[in-house]
Amino acid sequence: MSLATTIQLIVLLPLGSFLLLGIFGRKYLSSLSGMIGTTSLLVSAILSIQTAYQYFFLNTAGSFEKIIAWKMTWLTFSEGVSIDMGILVDPISVMMLVVVTVVSLMVHVYSLGYMKGDERFATYYSFLSLFTFSMLGLVIAVNIFQIYMFWELVGVSSFLLIGYYFEKPSAVAASKKAFIVTRFADLGFLIGILILGFEAKTLDFVTLIERLTTSNSPYLVSATTASFLGASALTWGLLLVFMGGAGKSAMFPLHIWLPDAMEGPTPVSALIHAATMVVAGVFLVARLFPIFSISCPGALEVVMWTGVISALFAALIACTQTDIKRVLAYSTMSQIGYMMFALGVSGYGNEAGLGFTASMFHLFTHAFFKALLFLGAGAVIHYIHSNEMKDMGGLRKSMPITHITFLIACLAIAGIPPFAGFFSKEEILTAAHHANPMVYYIALLTAGITAFYMFRLYYNIFWSKEAKTAHHDDDHHGEGTWSMKIPLLILSVGAIAAGFIPFGSFVSSDGHPLHIPFEISAAILPVIIAVSGIALATLFYKTENDRPDKLSASFQGIYKTAYHKFYIDEIYLFITKKIVFNLIAQPSAWVDKNIIDGSMNGLASLVVWKSNLIKSIQSGKVQDYALYFFLAAFGITALTIYLVN
């Protein structure tokens, strides 16, 4: 099979399964739907891995080029400006193909057990397939507008899956919140696309990047000289595109939807809100990275600070939350912050591109251990029927497999060697160390906090109190079916082994393999900090004691602020309700009701009034009409005679 056919198949299989299950699923295939979805994903995953093998290992050129495997023009606006649908094959898109299909496959398998017996089982699987299709379409996009369309499609499938339990008002509110916040960010994305497209006279990625990075090209000159409010058109375009990315990737201050999105089924959180969709923003910046890096370092600096602030901010909140999925949501946000600022500190080409490689590497490893954490949390929630830490404790005996795999994932995210997170985080820290010491120290601090809150979570679930499983002993389903345990085991292999992949030789900012020397000296400090974070968590949370309460009491101000998520939601509510609603929406509603509606209603009543005046001539009597007819005929005759004479 040619490359184009293979990738088309990878993308279209989930679409086929979505259509099949969406149309016939509930009526005819309800029990089979899980197997149909999983099988199509299995084929996709195998084909993706095969594609990755071909692309990375059977490559003789020595560097990885961008290949346009297939392309069709869908809509042409003017010469050169068109919306194309196609397949762009380059290291990051191939890597994303593997990540998306593998994690999605794991989630599909896991859901066979987790969602078993759900009334809308087939609908659930069709939504999962829709999401997978959209995400795959997003990563292979050749055209910035293609990415935008699939971007919206993943937004829709995320909306559908967050609101899957639509009978719960909180889930409905969360899905609306996620959709509105990301849509708001996507407005910026769209304007950014239009600015970039206008300046570069193309929407095609390869041409766009080439035109906006070649120095002295007329496009770049016009994009950098045209300015608005003190920034060039290029900066505005990139920043607005980044706004879309920040919305999807839950970067501060557009992160507010992500914790609420945890209302969806837990496997969905693992797939969409941890491993794949939320890294779309990182992917977008990486896709346009040459433009950011070569032509507009100012915008890249914004990316860096957004990433750093989000990483630290989310880590602080994660320490205070008690809902285990929310802790994981904030940790996702924090880790995506890492990826963002790794891109932000990176340069373009060769050694300078370390941050880019590190960011993609972290994206790759994070997908495994974060999906594993979520699936583990899902198993716990499945067992306990609660999201709250206070209902858990001492589960290590009753859930041995979940316990071990969760521990592996915690070690990986904390950055303990030799687990996957250690390697990628170490690369990010090295890149930050070279570029910006301030960022480096904040990142180190965040790494310590990450280790602390992950082990706070771990101890609270599996240690702490004695197990309260009395009511489970009799007729309970136990730890879960094998379909739930196998994905945990596979992903934990990923969380252990993914770090050993020499990532620089495959993915780098300019396509040339990058050899990254492993510096043991640079790794010592992060590991010490991570271990001390873990030690602190052990001290506080391994057994039940009052130290955490004392600590939170002594830092009550900070603790409360962090517990309330730094009041960002309240600030948003204040801005929307008090300012936008009162000062903008209400006056415009008044204008709409009184002036616009009023003029229309006035026109209508005028017509009614006039017609009341003349409707009495319509008596319904035939002789009256005949009289009018004669009078009119006489009138016309008289007029004609008068005019002729």
Binding residues (CB under 8 A) for other proteins: these are: 618-623, 626-627, 630
Question: What whole-number distance in Å separates Cα of residue 316 and Cα of residue 566?
Answer: 9
If the CB atoms of residues 72 and 622 are measured against other proteins, the closer one turns out to be 622
Cα dist from 224 to 11, 192, 397, whole Å = 37, 14, 62
Return the beta strands (E) in 115-230 as ranges: 227-228
Half-sphere exposure of 554 (CA within 13 A, CB side): 5
Closest contact distance (angstroms) between CB of 640 and other proteins is: 17
What CA–CA distance (Å, rounded) separates 448 from 526? 8
Nearest approach, Cβ of 630 to other proteins (angstroms)?
Answer: 6
Diameter of the chain measured on Cα atoms: 117
Q: 72 or 608: whose CB is closer to other proteins?
A: 608
Strands 81-89 and 227-228: unpaired
The candidate with the shortest Cα–Cα distance to 390, out of 589, 544, 199, 184, is 544
Minimum CB distance to other proteins, residue 619 (Å): 7
Q: Quick one: 622 or 643, whose CB is closer to other proteins?
A: 622
CB of 632 to other proteins, least distance (A): 13
Looking at beta carbons only, is 579 or 638 nearer to other proteins? 638
Which of 166, 629 has the CB closer to other proteins? Answer: 629
Nearer to other proteins, 599 or 611 (CB): 611
- Residue 490, amino acid: I
Q: How far is the CB of 638 from other proteins (least distance, A)?
A: 15
Query: What's the closest the beta carbon of residue 629 comes to other proteins, in angstroms?
Result: 10
What CA–CA distance (Å, rounded) separates 482 from 485? 5
CA distance 578 to 341: 34
Amino acid identity at 199: E
Least distance CB 622 / other proteins (angstroms): 6
- Considering the complex, what minimum distance in angstroms separates the CB of residue 615 from other proteins? 10
Separation between Cα atoms, residue 241 and residue 189, nearest integer Å: 4
Q: Which is nearer to other proteins, 623 or 645 (CB)?
A: 623
Decide: 357 and 347 in contact? Cβ < 8 Å.
no
In angstroms, rounded to a whole number, what is the distance separating the alpha carbons of residues 360 and 278?
Answer: 14
DSSP 25-49: IHHH-TTTHHHHHHHHHHHHHHHHH
Question: Which CB sits closer to other proteins, 169 or 620?
Answer: 620
What DSSP state is assigned to residue 567?
G
Residue 618 CB, shortest distance to other proteins, in Å, is 7
Distance CA 503, CA 564 (A): 39
Q: Which is nearer to other proteins, 65 or 624 (CB)?
A: 624
Output 2 or 616, the one with its CB closest to other proteins: 616
CB of 605 to other proteins, least distance (A): 22
> What phi-psi label fits residue 296: left (phi over 0), alpha (psi between -120 and 50 degrees) or beta?
beta
Can you list the positions of beta strands (E) in 493-639?
A: none
